[in-house]
């Protein structure tokens, strides 16, 4: 379960970094790319979070 939690934290950090880069990008195509990347990573993080919450091996 700790590996899933570590993956969740990594995905969240990567999504935040992509969003930061998006904000710094001056090219519209790069902004669009990093917007899509940030959104995709955020969706993946949400899926991992749901998997952790519904896992029968969930540690309390």
CB-neighbour burial class of residue 54 (10 A; exposed 0-12, middle 13-18, buried 19+): exposed
- How confident is the model at residue 16, as a pLDDT? 98
Q: What is the pLDDT of residue 55?
A: 86
Domains of the chain, residue spans: 2-54
- Residues 54 and 57: their CA atoms lie apart, in Å, by 9
**Per-residue confidence at 58, pLDDT binned at 50, 70, 90?**
low
Q: CA angle at residue 10 from 7 to 15, to 5 degrees? A: 125
* Rounded Cα distance, 23 and 32, in Å: 10
Q: How many CB atoms lie within 10 A of CB 11?
A: 20
Model pLDDT for residues 4-55, shown as the tens digit of each residue: 999 999 999 999 999 999 999 999 999 999 999 999 999 999 999 999 999 8
pLDDT above 90: residue 59: no
């Amino acid at each position: 379960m700790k590996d899933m939690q570590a993956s969740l934290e990594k995905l969240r950090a990567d999504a935040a970094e992509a969003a930061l880069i998006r904000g710094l990008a001056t090219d519209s195509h790069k902004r669009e790319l990093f917007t899509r990347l940030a959104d995709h990573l955020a969706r993946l993080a949400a899926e991992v979070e749901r998997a952790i919450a519904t896992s029968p091996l969930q540690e309390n």
